Amino acid sequence: MRDLEPRDLRIFVGIVVVLGLLPILSAVVVLTQGWRPSGDNALIGLRARDVLTGHLPLVGQPSTGENFGSGVESNHPGPIEFYVIAPFRAVLGASVGLAVGAAAINAAALVAIGWLSFRRGHLPLLGISAFASLLLVRSLGGNFLHDPLSSNVGALMALALLFACWSIVAGDLRTLPLFVAIGSFTLQDHLSFLGTGAPVVLLAVGVGTWWLARIRRRASDTTWVRPTLAWSVGLAAIVWLPVALDQLFGSHNLTAIFQTFTTGDGEPSGLGFGSGRLAEALAPWPIFMRKVAVLGWLHTPSTVELVTGYLVLVVVVGLGVVAWRRLRTDLTAMVVVVAFAALSGLYTAINLPDGAGVKAANLRWMWTVSAFAWIALAWLAWELMPRFAREVVGVPAAGFGAVATFVLLLSVVSSIELSTDRDGLLAKDITRLTGNVERELARGTYRVTYEGGPVVLSIGPALVHDLEQRGDRVYLDIGPFTRAYGEHREFDDQPIDGTIFVTTEAATAYPEGTKLLARQTVRVNANDEETQTVRVYLQTGEP
């Protein structure tokens, strides 16, 4: 950094600042429009609150692995997201802290991508990576920048992980603490990131160990090595401590995850499905560059798409061979990471239980691998281009790239809107419903139970989230749909002031003396006008 020209430094700082502020802007926009958490996001908010109240989570949110053949209840590997968001919740409050905390995670990922790109290839690679990252954001929608859902909040971090792995494989061990931080978040956040990220992380650890031995033998200055290793090992020990404690003394979640991946009666999706997903990810236009309709990631590629998709990978590998022959270690390392990431994604898709692909979260690697592969293709082409050619196209390319990036940035910002947010459809109705409940309900200790349509699975967690934020103590009957609340909220005949029933079933009979606290008519989904009426009742006293 000290050797940079002032103009280059200003450009670098400007790009990184814009990347970092974009997710925060996303959160601010929807919060001013009335965003509030419901469903999974409300559950994440509750678990972040647990960090602040001493009920320290040891695992992540429940996964859906048992629903696709394994029959084994498992959670996402670690609780790191809850711990990261907890300080934001403590300072900013429940809803604001949750959205801003998720935005801060994505901001950190974008800044890491920018910084690592600049470290590897200065302004040209920074420009390419920033543009590709914005394309990825546009593909997933600007609203995902503030979405706490684990499969969304980890997407940009998964892309940052590929850059961090590239740095380690290239021998840049000074980035080791950042590699540990990014890798820990990505691998703990969601099972899909564990399946595709772990092989690349293991590659980086193996090659990094070789580089470490080489540096210790040959480098003239090794004073930085010991502090870097100490920081990295210490950080890893801290962030993986909850996972280790659970494995040793708790639910043994890592064992359950292993069983989820290796057991069950479900049929794997197979080679045809897996190879199609990789081609769909890479073929022009690659998936990270375009908007994808619902279930669009399951599109069956044509023969042309299959050929061009794998041709992209072949070209990247071919350019990597050229780089290797020219002794360009940095470029060769990038290609190795691309190949490992692509093969990991392919293997994961092949072994994905049949039917699990309907959830985009289980195939999120398609976006991250696609983006990194095309960044690599562009960077390899630029670096291996003759010098005179770079001088000819450099200035026009930079000008066009700046304009295109600005237009793309405007497109991303314009896509941020509460009405299209995952929690936006119900936000205002839930706020009215919970507000009415709180006005009618005295503070106390309650058991909450709910039944009815899928809409209740969004409203139930939101109500519990708001009641606890108000100061009530809440218990639930823990089951397949409620274990995400945590064991300390399980109802086990504790003394309570009453039972709260949340239902969409108009004909449901309740015991005599039940009081209606609130009712609210809500839309079931954004694609039609179907509505349901949610009713919240209170039965005072013991059940």
Cα–Cα distance, 72 to 336 (Å, whole number) = 34
> Same domain, yes or no, for 37 and 181?
yes
526 has a pLDDT exceeding 80: no
90-107: pLDDT as tens digits: 999 999 999 999 999 999
Closest CA to 188 of 82, 46, 338, 259: 82
Q: Torsions phi, psi of 151, nearest 5? A: -70, -20
- The predicted model gives 421-443 an average pLDDT of 93
Q: Which positions ≥6 away from 465 have C-beta within 8 Å? A: 37, 42, 43, 45, 46, 94
Q: Are residues 398 and 496 in the same domain?
A: no
Over range 373-401, report the average pLDDT: 93
In the predicted structure, residue 285 carries a pLDDT above the cut 60: yes
User: Distance between the two ends of the chain, CA-based, in angstroms?
Assistant: 66
In a domain, 194, yes or no: yes
pLDDT recorded at residue 128: 97
Sign of torsion over alpha carbons 7, 11, 14, 17: negative
Domain shared by 448 and 356, yes or no: no
What pLDDT sits at residue 530? 76
Question: What's the average model confidence in pLDDT over 279-307?
Answer: 91
pLDDT confidence of residue 361: 84
pLDDT, residue 271, reads 93
Residue with tokens 């919240």: 536
Residue 127 and residue 15: Cα distance in Å, rounded?
8
Task: Indicate if 209 and 260 belong to the same structural domain.
Answer: yes
Stretch 17-36: mean pLDDT: 97
- Please report whether residue 392 resides in a domain: yes
User: Which of helix, strand or coil describes residue 107?
Assistant: helix
Residue 359 belongs to a domain: yes
Question: Is the distance from CB of 37 to CB of 427 less than 8 angstroms?
Answer: no
- Are residues 388 and 456 located together in one domain of the fold? no
Give rounded-to-5 percent helix, strand, coil for the chain.
70, 10, 25
Strand partners, 75: 62
pLDDT of residue 68 exceeding 60, the answer is: no
Q: Measuring CA to CA, how many Å separate 188 from each of 191, 236, 253, 464, 469?
A: 8, 12, 12, 25, 26
Q: Is it the case that residue 69 has pLDDT exceeding 60?
A: no
pLDDT-derived band at 54, boundaries 50, 70, 90: very high
Strands (E), 363-487: 445-451, 473-476
pLDDT score of 89: 97
271-286: average pLDDT: 94
The sign of the dihedral angle between the CA atoms of 350, 354, 360, 361 is negative
Looking at residue 131, its pLDDT comes to: 97
Looking at the fold, whether 438 and 381 belong to one and the same domain comes out as no
Query: What residue numbers bound the domain in which 298 lies?
Result: 6-420
pLDDT band at 343 (very low <50, low <70, confident <90, very high): very high
Domain containing 465 — which CATH number? Answer: 3.40.120
Mean pLDDT value across residues 107-125: 97
Contact 458, 501 (CB under 8 A): no
Higher pLDDT, 296 or 341: 341
The mean pLDDT of 158-186, rounded to a whole number, is: 98
Whether the CB-CB separation of 458 and 38 falls below 8 Å is answered with: yes
What letter represents residue 234's amino acid?
A: G
Do the domain assignments include residue 1? no
Sheet holding 531-540, edge to edge: 473-476, 445-451, 498-503, 531-540, 515-523
Closest CA to 460 of 79, 93, 40: 40
- Strand partners for 519: 535
Which tens digits make up the pLDDT trace of 493-511? 899 999 999 988 766 666 6
Residue 58: is its pLDDT beyond 70? Answer: yes
C-alpha to C-alpha distance for 443 and 468, rounded to whole angstroms = 10
DSSP 494: -
257 with 118, same domain: the answer is yes
What is the torsional sign of CA 36, 41, 45, 48?
Answer: negative
Can you give the pLDDT at residue 219?
Answer: 77
Same domain, 316 and 442: no
Q: Which of 137-151, 346-360, 469-483, 503-517 has the highest mean pLDDT?
A: 137-151
Band of residue 2 on the pLDDT scale cut at 50, 70, 90: low
Q: Which of 116-125, 158-167, 249-258 has the lowest mean pLDDT?
A: 249-258
415 lies in the same domain as 439: no
Instruction: Count Cβ atoms within 10 A of the Cβ of residue 2 and give its class: 0-12 exposed, 13-18 middle, 19 or more buried.
Output: exposed
In a domain, 51, yes or no: yes
Residue 322 counted as domain residue: yes
Cα distance between residue 340 and residue 204, in whole Å: 10
Please say which residue of 420, 453, 482 terminates a domain: 420
pLDDT, residue 71, reads 66
Residues in Cβ contact with 322 at an 8 Å cutoff, skipping those fewer than 6 apart: 384
Same domain for 382 and 458, yes or no, is no
Closest CA to 311 of 347, 286, 274: 286
Are both 443 and 320 inside the same structural domain?
no
Taking alpha carbons only, the member of 336, 339, 282 closest to residue 306 is 282
Tokens linked to 231:
């920081």
Q: Give the tens place of pLDDT for each residue, 482-494.
A: 789 999 999 998 9
- Boundary of a domain, candidates 420, 453, 468: 420
Tell me if 241 is assigned to some domain: yes
70-91 pLDDT tens trace: 567 889 999 999 999 999 999 9
d(CA 63, CA 200): 22
pLDDT score for 332: 98
- Assigned token pair, 518: 């609130």
Give residue 265's pLDDT: 62
pLDDT of residue 481: 67
Which range is least confidently modeled, 190-204, 261-275, 464-478? 261-275
- Final residue in a domain of this structure, among 420, 449, 468: 420
Band the pLDDT of 38: cuts 50, 70, 90.
very high
Q: Is 143 helix (H, G, I), strand (E, B) or coil?
A: helix
Query: Are 444 and 468 contained in the same domain?
Result: yes
Mean pLDDT, the chain, integer? 92
- Give how many domains the chain has, as a whole number: 2
Q: What pLDDT is attached to residue 533?
A: 87
Outline where 57-154 has alpha helix (H): 80-92, 94-140, 150-153
Q: What is the pLDDT of residue 67?
A: 60
pLDDT at res. 463: 94
